[in-house]
Amino acid sequence: MYQDWLFKDHPSGWRLRYRRGGGGYEASLDGMNWQPVPSVTQITGLLNKNLQEWAVRQVVEYLREELVPGLVLTEEEAGRILDGAAKAHRQAAQRAAGRGSDFHAWAEAYLKGQPAPLPSEEPLRGMAQALVEWWEGNGGRAVRGEEAVFHPEHFYAGRVDLVAHFGGRLMVVDLKTSSRVYPEHLLQVGAYVLALQAEGVAVKGGMVLSLGDGLKPVEVPVEEAAGAFLGLLQAWRFVRGLSP
pLDDT digits (tens, 9 = 90+) for 88-109: 666 655 555 556 678 888 998 8
Check: CB of residue 137 under 8 Å from CB of residue 116.
no
Averaged pLDDT for residues 179-185: 91
pTM for the whole thing? 0.81
Given a cut of 80, is residue 139 above it in pLDDT? yes
pLDDT for 89 equals 62
Confidence of residue 135 (pLDDT cuts 50, 70, 90): very high
Tell me the domain boundaries of the chain: 5-242
pLDDT of residue 148: 95
Residue 69: predicted pLDDT = 76
pLDDT at 86: 72
Task: For residue 143, give the 3-state DSSP assignment.
Answer: strand
- DSSP 3-state percent helix, strand, coil across the chain (nearest 5): 45, 25, 30
Tell how strand 169-176 and strand 205-210 pair up: parallel
